[in-house]
Amino acid sequence: MITSNFPFPILFRNSHFVIINKPAGIPVHPNRNHQKSIEDFLPLLSRRKDGPWLAHRLDQDTAGCLLIALRKQALIEAQKCFSQGKVTKIYWAIVQGKPKQDRGIIENFLSKQYNDNKKWFIKTSPTTGQKAITTWRVLGSNENISCLELYLHTGRTHQARVHCASLGCRIIGDNIYGASDHHSLQLFNRYISLPLDPVIETTATPPKHMVTFLKALSLI
| Domain at 120, CATH number | 3.30.2350.10
pTM for this prediction: 0.92
Give yes or no for residue 55 having a pLDDT over 90: yes
List beta partners, residue 113: 121
Percent of the chain with pLDDT over 70: 96
Give yes or no for residue 122 having a pLDDT over 80: yes
**2 near 29, Cβ under 8 Å?**
no
Reference 1, options 10, 19, 20, 14; nearest CA is 14
Amino acid of residue 29: H
Active-site residue list? 59
- Burial (0-12, 13-18, 19+ Cβ within 10 Å), 119: exposed
In a domain, 3, yes or no: no
Amino acid of residue 185: L
Condensed to tens digits (0 to 9), the pLDDT of residues 4-40 reads 689 999 999 999 999 999 999 999 998 877 789 999 9
* Predicted local distance difference test score (pLDDT) of residue 29: 92
In a domain, 166, yes or no: yes
In a domain, 52, yes or no: yes
Count of structural domains within the chain: 1
In a domain, 207, yes or no: yes
The single-letter DSSP state of residue 205 is P
Instruction: Assign 178 a pLDDT band (cuts: 50, 70, 90).
Output: confident
* Predicted local distance difference test score (pLDDT) of residue 118: 60
Give yes or no for residue 51 having a pLDDT over 90: no
Domain hosting 126: range is 10-216
In a domain, 1, yes or no: no
Sign of the Cα pseudo-torsion (44, 47, 48, 54, in order)? positive
In a domain, 32, yes or no: yes
In a domain, 110, yes or no: yes
Mean pLDDT of the chain: 92
**172 near 217, Cβ under 8 Å?**
no
In a domain, 136, yes or no: yes
